[in-house]
Amino acid sequence: MDKKALRAEIKARKRAMTEAQIDETSRLLARQLFDHPAYRNAKSIFGYLSYNQEVRTLPILEQAQKDGKRVAVPKVLDDRMIFIWLDDLSRVSLGYCGIPEPLDDGPEALDETALVLMPGLAFDPTGRRCGYGGGFYDRYLEAHPRHPTLALCYGFQLFDHLDTDPHDIPVDYVLSQEVAE
C-alpha cells in the first residue's frame, strides 16, 4: 500500500473512534509508557500535544512533570521544528496546521538524551513509521541523532511491515494498544 492510501485508511479508522475509546486506549498506552525503561530512565520528555484523534498526550505530559521530568513540545518556526520547554502546559495555542504549540518561542529545549515521543500514522514492529508527510521529525532527528524515540499507537496503526523512504528515521520503540471497546 502506498503512503497516500495508507494515510487515508488510518485517518478514516481514527475518525471512526469515539472519544471514550480514544480516552481509554490512551490511558492504557500511558500505563505501558510509564512502565517502559526508556521513560523511567529519561530526565526529560520531548512530547507532543495531540490533536484530532491522536493518542491523548496531555495526561502523559502532566504525569511526566509529576514524576520530576522536564517536558518540552515542538513548535514549527518557518520550515524547521524545535522543542520548547513547557513548564505550564496551558500556555499553548493552535499553530502549524492547527496543531497545539507553545505560545512562547523559547526557551529552546536542549537535552540530547531526552526521550522523544513520536507521532505518526502507521508503524511496524521494527520502528519504521509513516508520518504525516511534513518530515519535521525526520529532519530534527537527523540533526539530533542521540535521542531515544518511542511511538504510542492504536493497534490498527501497527503493521507487520512498512516500506519507508531512505530519509525516514525509524523509532526505537513502538507501544501499541488495541482500541478499547
Nearest to 128 by CA among 136, 115, 118: 118
Q: Identify the segments of the chain with pLDDT beneath 50.
A: none
Are 38 and 173 within 8 A, CB to CB? Answer: yes
pLDDT of residue 116: 98
Alpha carbon distance 177, 181 (integer Å): 12
CA atoms within 13 A on the CB side of 108: 7
User: What is residue 172's predicted lDDT score, i.e. its pLDDT?
Assistant: 97
Q: What is the pTM of this model?
A: 0.93
Cell numbers describing residue 74:
515542538
CA angle at residue 70 from 127 to 125, to 5 degrees?
10
CA–CA dist 29, 27 (Å, integer):
5
